[in-house]
Amino acid sequence: MDKLKKSVILFHSTNYAIWAQNELQANGLPCKMISVPRQLSSDCGYCVQMETQDKPKAEQFLIAANIEFDRIDDL
- What domain range is 27 assigned to? 6-74
Residue 1 counted as domain residue: no
Query: When comparing pLDDT for 10 and 41, which is higher?
Result: 10
Alpha carbons within 13 angstroms on the beta-carbon side of residue 26 total 9
If one counts the domains in the chain, the total is 1
Give the residue-averaged pLDDT of 38-42: 75
Query: pLDDT digit string (tens) for 48-65?
Result: 999 999 999 999 999 999
Query: pLDDT digit string (tens) for 17-39?
Result: 999 999 999 999 999 999 998 88
Parallel, antiparallel, or unpaired: how do β-strands 6-10 and 71-74 relate?
antiparallel
Burial of 17 by CB count in 10 Å (0-12 exposed, 13-18 middle, 19+ buried)? buried
Statement: residue 2 has pLDDT above 90: no
Give the CATH number, domain containing residue 59: 3.30.70.1940
